[in-house]
């Protein structure tokens, strides 16, 4: 068998028969593997290969272009952190935009915030949305919230048309910087993000792993420092099925009311501890709490040094 990085099916059986191995030029020389019980869906959209399989130990798995996007077992660590790190850092967020995130998990998390009145999402690939609704109902449940409005299209183009200062928060839940997501890691995109935010508004973007992509993180950090005149901080979380087991986020705020990402001012646990019937029905948080929030900004020495240079 020849291994074709970037192709969903080609990554099955090429290393260990019956296992999915995540082979990619983005992490040469390593390939995390999961045992496959059953392939549930294989398709090719206008943008990428889409694969869903039942794994032996991580529940159902969504794969785009050969790269794991989420598993039922550990998606909480990503979705909760990418959403609550920004939204718990500002008081009363009202208008929120999600770019990417077609699976709906970030919507599910944003919807926990009662102050939020409008949740827009711009996902490029309708097949991801349909597949999430069919195979990942506990994730796609985010679409059921009446505040959600879906736009199917390119997030960078969508953002260019947003009125200046419109959103309190933008969450960029993108895939890696190859294919349709590439432009979501570049300076012109960060500039339109800053333009779309109100003064003191916040953005949280998927920002890769400190073990694999420090140079990409440095580039994002430098571009964000030039673009956002408030705070710029890198945070990370543990996601066992992502390459190297960790993934990071760049948190930035625009000039205006000061945002200190390290000291959350809008704790979500208030909802957790509530006695109201409505709150009791909602899915409890599995990963995020205020201590994890603060800890997420502590960096190992090598990463701290790499970013201190900017």
CA distance 253 to 193: 10
Q: Least distance (Å) from ligand SAM to the CB of residue 113? A: 18
Part in contact with ligand SAM (CB under 6 A); list of ranges 89-97, 171-179, 192-200, 207-215: 171-179
Q: CB of 164 within 8 A of CB of 192?
A: no
* Token pair for 241: 């099925």
Q: Does 159 bind ligand SAM (CB under 6 A)?
A: no
Site string for ligand SAM, 176-195 (x = CB under 6 A): ----xx--x-----------
What are the respective helix, strand and coil percentages of the chain, to the nearest 5? 35, 25, 40
Taking the C-alpha atoms of residue 246 and residue 237, their distance in angstroms, rounded to an integer, is: 6
Q: Contact with ligand SAM (CB under 6 A): which of 122, 148, 169, 207? A: 122
- How far apart are CB 180 and ligand SAM at their closest, in Å? 4
Nearest approach in angstroms of CB 109 to ligand SAM is 10
Q: Rule CB under 6 A: is residue 243 a binding residue for ligand SAM?
A: no
Chain Cα centroid distance, residue 157: 19
Nearer to ligand SAM (CB atom), residue 88 or residue 124: 124
| DSSP type of residue 261 | T
Active site residues: 173
Helix or strand (DSSP H, E) at 221: helix 214-227
Q: Does 78 bind ligand SAM (CB under 6 A)?
A: yes
31-44 burial by CB neighbour count: b if 16+ within 10 A, else e? bbebebeeeebeee
Residue 127's SS3 state is helix
Q: Which stretch binds ligand SAM (CB under 6 A): 51-59, 70-78, 213-221, 255-263?
A: 70-78
Q: Left, alpha or beta for 269 (phi > 0: left; psi -120 to 50: alpha)?
A: alpha
Helix 187-196 and helix 214-227, axial crossing angle in degrees, nearest 10: 40
Smaller CB separation from ligand SAM, 5 or 100: 100
Choose which of 5, 105, 142, 248 interacts with ligand SAM (CB under 6 A): 105
Cβ 272 to ligand SAM shortest distance, Å: 21
For the record, the structure tokens of 126 come out as 């309708």
Q: How far apart are CA 194 and CA 182, in angstroms?
A: 18
Q: Can you tell me which of 61, 67, 99, 207 binds ligand SAM, judged by CB under 6 A?
A: 99
CB closer to ligand SAM, 185 vs 230: 185
CA–CA separation, 97 vs 264, rounded Å? 20
> Does 98 sit near ligand SAM (CB under 6 A)?
no
* Candidate residues 85, 116, 119, 124; the one interacting with ligand SAM per rule CB under 6 A: 124
Interface of this chain with ligand SAM, residues 129 to 158, rule: CB under 6 A: 154-156
Pick from 11, 21, 55, 79: which binds ligand SAM (CB under 6 A)?
Answer: 79
Place of tokens 């800890």: 295
Q: Does 237 bind ligand SAM (CB under 6 A)?
A: no
**For the range 275-282, what are the long-range contacts, defined as Cβ-Cβ under 8 Å and sequence gap of 24 or more?**
282/112
44 or 304: CB nearest ligand SAM? 44
Regarding 34 and contact with ligand SAM (CB under 6 A), the answer is no
Binding residues for ligand SAM, per CB under 6 A?
64, 69-70, 75, 78-79, 99-103, 105, 122-125, 128, 154-156, 173-175, 180-181, 184
């Amino acid at each position: 068998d020849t291994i074709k990085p970037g192709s969903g099916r080609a990554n099955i059986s090429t290393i260990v028969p019956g296992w999915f191995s995540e082979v990619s030029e983005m992490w040469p020389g390593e390939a995390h593997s999961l045992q496959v019980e059953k392939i549930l869906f294989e398709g090719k959209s206008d943008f990428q290969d889409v694969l869903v399989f039942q794994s032996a130990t991580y529940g159902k798995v969504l794969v785009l272009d050969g790269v794991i996007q989420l598993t039922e077992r550990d998606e909480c660590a990503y979705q909760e952190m990418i959403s609550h790190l920004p939204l718990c850092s500002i008081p009363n967020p009202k208008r929120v935009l999600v770019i990417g995130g077609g699976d709906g998990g970030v919507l599910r998390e944003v919807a926990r915030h009662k102050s939020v009145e409008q949740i827009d999402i711009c996902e490029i690939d309708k097949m991801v949305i349909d597949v999430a609704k069919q195979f990942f109902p506990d994730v796609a449940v985010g679409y059921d919230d009446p505040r959600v409005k879906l736009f199917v299209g390119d997030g960078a183009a969508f953002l260019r048309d947003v009125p200046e200062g419109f959103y309190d928060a933008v969450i960029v839940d993108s895939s890696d910087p190859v294919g349709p997501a590439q432009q979501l890691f570049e300076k012109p995109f960060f500039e339109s993000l800053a333009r779309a935010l109100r003064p003191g508004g916040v953005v949280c973007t998927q920002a890769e792993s400190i073990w694999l992509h420090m140079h990409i993180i440095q580039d994002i950090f430098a571009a964000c420092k030039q673009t956002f005149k408030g705070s710029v901080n890198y945070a990370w979380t543990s996601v066992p099925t992502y390459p190297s087991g960790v993934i990071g986020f760049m948190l930035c705020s625009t000039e205006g009311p000061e945002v200190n990402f390290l000291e959350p001012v809008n704790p979500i646990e208030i909802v957790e501890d509530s006695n109201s019937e409505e709150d009791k029905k909602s899915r409890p948080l599995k990963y995020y709490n205020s201590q994890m929030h603060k800890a997420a900004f502590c960096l190992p020495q090598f990463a701290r040094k790499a970013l201190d240079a900017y």
